[in-house]
Amino acid sequence: MTFTQHYDSPLGSILLTADEMGLTGLWFDGQKHFARDLPAQHTEQDTPVLLEAKRWLDVYFTGREPDFLPALHPIGSAFRRRVWDLLLRVPYGQTVTYGQLAQQLAAACPGSVTRGGADGVRLTDWTAAQFAQSDALIFVGAAGIAVRAIAPHCRSKAADPAVVVLDEGGQFAIPLLSGHLGGANELAQRLAAVCHAVPVITTATDGRGVFAVDEWAKRQNCAVAEPERIRCVSGALLAGQSVCYAADWAVSGTPPAGVEPAAAADRADFALTLTPTGEALHLIPRIAVLGVGCKRGTTAEKLETAFAAFCAEHHFAPQGIVRAASIDLKKDEPGLAAFCLAHGWEMDFYTAAALRTAKGRFTSSGFVQSITGVDNVCERAAVLAADGVLFIPKWARDGVTLAVALAPFAPDWRWKNDEP
C-alpha cells in the first residue's frame, strides 16, 4: 500500500509518498515528472515514515543539518538507484549537477563526459562535434531522438563512433551504430552491467551465435581494409556456409565453426595480412611503425607522395601503421610534423647514440653517418619504436627514406568479449 501526505515548505508544496518500508518519493507540486511513479491506488494518510520525513524537513528548512534520516525505500531501476546513492553522498549545504553525477557514474567506463544541451549548446551541435572527435556517444532518452541526431553524420561502419542509447529508467542499453568495429555492442554490455539493464544486441551474427569477422578484427587490433566486404563473409556464415581464411601469422586456438584455412591465399574469403591483394576481405594488423629520414625542409606534400609510392611498390596497407619514428635532428621539421599529424600518428625521436643500439642488420650509408652520426636512420628508428623486427627495408626517393618495422603480434581465434 502506498500512502501520501503534503508538506508546505518555504519553496512550495511537496508531495511525500511512502509504503510500509520507507519513503518512496518526493516531488514539488507541478515539477517535471510530478508523481510519475505514484500508483493509481494510494491512500492519503499519515504514517510513522511520513511523520519522520516531515520532521526531517522541518529541521532542514530551519537551516540546520538533520542528525537523522527517515527510512528510505526508493523504487526504480538499478541505474536510478545508483544515482540516488550518489545524491545521498552530497554534503549538507552543497549542490551537485547531473553532469557531475554523470562523471562519477562514468568511472565504470573510462573516458570523459560531456553533456548535450548544457550551456546553451543544442543537441544537434553537440552531436556534430562529438561525432567527429569521440570514440563513443551515449544518449540517455528515446532512441528516436538519438537516431535523428546522428543521421546526418553517419558515414561508414569503419569510421563511425559507437552510439548507444540508454533509456531514462536505465532498463535497456541499445547499440545503434558501429556495433562491432566501433565497439557499441561491448559498450552496451558494459553499461548494462553497471545499471543492471538489459543489453539489446541486434546484430545478426550475435543473435545467431555466428562468428563475427569484424568483431574478431577489432579484438585482434586490426583495421578492416574493405568494410563493404564484411557482409560477404557474415552472409555466408549466416546462410550456413563455410568461409576460408589466410593469415601471414599463425593464429592460435581453434577456428570458430564454419571457418576453415584456405587451400591457397588467393582462395581466401578473408585474410590477415599487411600486404593485401585480390578480392578477399583484408584485415590489417595495426602493428607497424614507419621509420622516416628526409632532407631538411622536406614538405608534407613531398613526404605524402613518397609514402604513397612506397606503399604501392610494396603492396603495403597504410592502415597498419600506428606511429612514425626518426632521429632527433628532425624533431623540428614542420613538413614531417604535418605529414604525421595528417595520418594521426605520434612520433618517436631518437638520438644517434640511441639509434646505434638497435638490434638487427641495417642498410649502412657513409653519407648518412657523416651527417647524422649514425649509418641509418629510418630502419633503426622503426625497429626501436616497434620494439620488433624490420619488415620493409630502407626505400629512398627524392630525398626521403622510409622503412617499416613490426611490433610482436600473436593473433588468436577469440572474438567474443566474454572469452578470456
pLDDT per residue over 137-172, tens digit each?
A: 888 888 999 999 999 999 888 789 999 998 877 788
Has residue 420 got a pLDDT over 70?
Answer: no
CATH number for 220-284: choose from 3.90.1150.140, 3.40.1390.40, 3.40.50.720, 3.20.20.80.
Answer: 3.40.1390.40
Q: How confident is the model at residue 321 (pLDDT cuts 50, 70, 90)?
A: very high
User: Among candidates 146, 79, 89, which has minimal Cα distance to 109?
Assistant: 79
Return the domain boundaries, the chain. 3-75, 118-202, 220-284, 288-406
Q: What percent of the chain has pLDDT over 90?
A: 63
CATH of domain 3-75: 3.30.160.70
Most confident range (mean pLDDT) of 70-79, 160-169, 186-195 is 160-169
Q: How confident is the model at residue 298 (pLDDT cuts 50, 70, 90)?
A: very high
Q: In degrees rounded to 5, what are phi and psi of residue 260? A: -130, 150
Q: How confident is the model at residue 117 (pLDDT cuts 50, 70, 90)?
A: low
Superfamily for domain range 288-406: CobE/GbiG C-terminal domain (3.30.420.180)
13 beta partners: 8
pLDDT at position 330 = 95
Q: Could you tell me how many residues make up the chain?
A: 420
pLDDT per residue over 398-417, tens digit each?
A: 999 999 999 999 999 987 65
Compute CA distances 51 → 4, 47, 58, whole Å: 11, 6, 11
CATH number for 118-202: choose from 3.40.50.300, 3.40.50.11220, 3.90.45.10, 3.30.1330.40.
Answer: 3.40.50.11220
Taking the C-alpha atoms of residue 8 and residue 11, their distance in angstroms, rounded to an integer, is: 8
> For the chain, what is the mean pLDDT?
89
Please, what is the end-to-end C-alpha distance for the chain in angstroms? 47
- Residue whose entry in the numeric block shows the C-alpha cell 523504487: 75
Taking the C-alpha atoms of residue 31 and residue 15, their distance in angstroms, rounded to an integer, is: 11
Residue pair 207/201 in contact (Cβ under 8 Å)? The answer is yes
The alpha-carbon radius of gyration of the chain (Å, integer) is: 29
pLDDT per residue over 20-58, tens digit each?
A: 899 988 889 888 778 877 888 889 999 999 999 999 999
User: Among candidates 386, 299, 283, 295, which has minimal Cα distance to 338?
Assistant: 299
